[in-house]
């Protein structure tokens, strides 16, 4: 791993809280690492664990899923389901030896621009420590 | 296990007008083989057996039955299917009921309390398989092998399958008819397989699974044999979008195995069929048992026990653990 290694991080943000929170961080000129590639989803309950796996296969070094705080979900309960599923996914990934620092989940509400910054900093720092994730890359076929 | 009683019960059940056929075990063509029996009349009911060789989980066939389109004017056959279940198989049936994969009215469950079945591979290794069909019975000490006219006593611990060592439900949790007396529950062993993998550090674990998953042929036997993998449109068969490519390489194999294990999180009833049929001997049971344990310990949910329960991944509790959340 070179000294100036920059991790690639895919973030699945829920439309109603975390995406707005990240937007707020932007409009408030909060400085945070630019390693995040944001994918907006309508709810964290929509995040299929296969998305996380696919992101890791296609070149992500870390994945972040962020949504509304429990009880604040726009769809009433989507984030509760996500918490269960992704918690299980985290256990599974850890069991097969994927560094637990590569997958994070967080609750960031629309007003928490500063928390978003902290979450991103933590995620990027963890992914940096874990290093590039080469083992799981999908083999590219050049026809 | 009284075979006469079993056969008599089976004959009575198939004679019922509302029963289409009965799923049971019968002798295979040679050695220790056991074949699934689709019994439609009293005559074939006399071939049924229940022995320590009956490892197969027949609940698979409940959802595997093809439903071809019917000619116009023809009514579908709505009669019940009777199925013989061991303790673990009955949990598969219960889990299917939880998920509404089958309806309670559409099955007749014949419970067979099971003192533990054998590991076929171990058996064939220690007592070589011959062409003649052999019999294995439960005895006081363990198993009694009848082969080529000879009787051999085998200690229970010697041949007991791993899933049975860890079994907590030897008696069917749901049944319409019980054949035989309930067996005494035994103390399950500690799950050393999972603990061993957990004890290693992350890199060694990754290498361990890399080695295992690299052997995967992607034959999908584990999916096909699983009583709970019954989606009509399986993610592995879907081409658009292709979540998991069909190419056989480490990345795709890992994705496939993880997806398979994950889709069974909170649903796997640990019948061990996937591991038994795997031609590459991938320890799939470890993945399943690990997740089952997490579900049990962290979320307090046990699949296939209470038919009234909500499916694990389609329900939540407000106080689910969230210590992993930033």
Lowest average pLDDT, out of A84-88, B64-68, B107-111, goes to B64-68
Distance CA B69, CA B92 (A): 27
Question: What are the CA-CA distances from residue B265 to residues A77, B293, B302 (Å)?
Answer: 20, 10, 11
Name the minimum distance, in Å, from the CA of A94 to any CA of chain B.
7
What CATH number has the domain bearing residue A41? 3.40.50
User: Which domain, by its residues, includes A91?
Assistant: 9-130
Q: β-pairing, B48-49 with B34-39? A: unpaired
- C-beta of residue B166 within 8 angstroms of C-beta of residue B272: no
Whether residue A74 lies inside any domain: the answer is yes
Q: In degrees rounded to 5, what are phi and psi of residue B36?
A: -70, 140
- C-beta of residue B250 within 8 angstroms of C-beta of residue B282: no
Comparing alpha-carbon positions, the chain A residue that sits nearest to B262 is: A89
pLDDT for the residue A142: 67
The model's pLDDT over B16-41, given as tens digits with 9 standing for 90+, comes to: 999 999 999 999 888 899 999 999 98
Name the minimum distance, in Å, from the CA of B325 to any CA of chain A.
5
pLDDT for the residue A4: 86
Residues B324, A99: C-beta atoms closer than 8 Å: no
pLDDT for the residue B1: 65
On the 0-12 / 13-18 / 19+ scale of CB atoms within 10 A, B38 is middle
Whether residue A70 lies inside any domain: the answer is yes
Inter-chain CB pairs, A–B, below 8 Å: 107
Whether residue A4 lies inside any domain: the answer is no
pLDDT for the residue A1: 62
Residues B254, A96: C-beta atoms closer than 8 Å: yes
The model's pLDDT over B124-165, given as tens digits with 9 standing for 90+, comes to: 898 888 888 888 889 888 898 888 888 888 888 888 999 999
Distance CA B178, CA B6 (A): 9
Q: How many domains does chain A have?
A: 1
Residues B206, A85: C-beta atoms closer than 8 Å: no
Whether residue A140 lies inside any domain: the answer is no
Distance CA B283, CA B301 (A): 24
Q: What is the pTM of this model?
A: 0.92
Residues of B with Cβ-Cβ distance to A96 under 8 angstroms: 205-206, 209, 254, 258, 287
Q: β-pairing, A62-67 with A9-14? A: parallel
Best-predicted range by mean pLDDT (A42-56, B56-70, B175-189):
A42-56
Mean of per-residue pLDDT scores for chain B: 91
Q: In degrees rounded to 5, what are phi and psi of residue B205?
A: -60, -45
Identify the H or E element spanning B143: strand B142-147
Comparing alpha-carbon positions, the chain A residue that sits nearest to B261 is: A92
Closest CA to A98 of A55, A65, A64, A62: A62
Name the minimum distance, in Å, from the CA of B308 to any CA of chain A.
19
Whether residue A18 lies inside any domain: the answer is yes
Whether residue A2 lies inside any domain: the answer is no
Query: Which of A97, A127, A135, A140 to substitute to test the interface with B, most B CBs within 10 Å?
Result: A97
Residues B203, A137: C-beta atoms closer than 8 Å: no
Residues A70, B322: C-beta atoms closer than 8 Å: yes
Ranges of chain A whose pLDDT falls below 70: 1, 141-143
Whether residue A142 lies inside any domain: the answer is no
Distance CA B207, CA B292 (A): 23
């Amino acid at each position: 791993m070179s000294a100036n290694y920059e991790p690639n991080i895919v973030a699945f943000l829920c439309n109603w809280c975390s995406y707005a929170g990240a937007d707020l961080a932007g409009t408030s000129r909060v400085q945070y690492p630019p390693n995040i590639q944001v994918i907006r989803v309508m709810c964290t309950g929509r995040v299929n664990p296969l998305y996380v796996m696919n992101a890791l296969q296609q070149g992500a070094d870390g994945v972040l899923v962020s949504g509304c705080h429990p009880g604040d979900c726009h769809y009433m309960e989507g984030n509760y389901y996500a918490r269960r599923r992704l918690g299980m996914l985290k256990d599974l990934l850890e069991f097969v030896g994927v560094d637990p620092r590569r997958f994070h989940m967080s609750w960031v509400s629309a007003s928490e621009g500063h928390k978003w910054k902290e979450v991103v900093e933590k995620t990027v720092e963890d992914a940096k420590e874990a290093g590039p994730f080469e083992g799981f890359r999908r083999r590219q076929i050049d026809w | 296990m009284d075979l006469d009683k079993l056969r008599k019960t089976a004959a009575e059940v198939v004679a019922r007008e509302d029963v289409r056929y009965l799923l049971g075990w019968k002798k295979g063509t040679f050695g220790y083989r056991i074949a699934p029996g689709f019994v439609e009349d009293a005559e074939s009911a006399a071939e049924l057996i229940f022995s320590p060789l009956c490892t197969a989980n027949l609940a698979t066939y409940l959802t595997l039955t093809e439903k071809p389109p019917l000619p116009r004017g023809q009514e579908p056959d709505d009669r019940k299917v009777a199925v013989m279940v061991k303790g673990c198989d009955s949990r598969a049936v219960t889990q299917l009921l939880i998920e509404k994969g089958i309806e309670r009215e559409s099955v007749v469950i014949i419970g067979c309390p099971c003192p533990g079945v054998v590991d076929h591979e171990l058996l064939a290794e220690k007592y070589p398989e011959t062409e003649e069909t052999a019999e294995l019975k439960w005895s006081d000490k363990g198993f009694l092998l009848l082969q080529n006219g000879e009787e051999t006593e085998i200690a229970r611990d010697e041949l007991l399958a791993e899933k049975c060592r860890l079994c907590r439900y030897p008696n069917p949790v749901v049944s319409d008819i019980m054949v035989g007396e309930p067996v005494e529950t035994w103390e399950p062993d500690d799950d050393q397989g999972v603990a061993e993998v957990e004890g290693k550090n992350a890199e060694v674990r990754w290498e361990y699974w890399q080695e295992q998953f690299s052997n995967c042929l992607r034959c999908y036997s584990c999916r096909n044999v699983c009583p709970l993998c019954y989606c009509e449109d399986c993610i592995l068969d879907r081409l658009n979008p292709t979540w998991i490519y069909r190419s056989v390489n480490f990345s795709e194999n890992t994705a496939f195995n993880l997806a398979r294990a994950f889709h069974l999180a909170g649903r796997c009833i640990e019948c061990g069929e996937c591991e038994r049929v795997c031609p590459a001997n991938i320890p799939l049971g470890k993945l399943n048992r690990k997740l089952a344990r997490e579900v049990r310990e962290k979320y307090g949910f046990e699949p296939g026990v209470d038919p009234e329960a909500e499916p694990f991944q389609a329900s939540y509790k407000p106080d689910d653990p969230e210590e992993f959340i930033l």
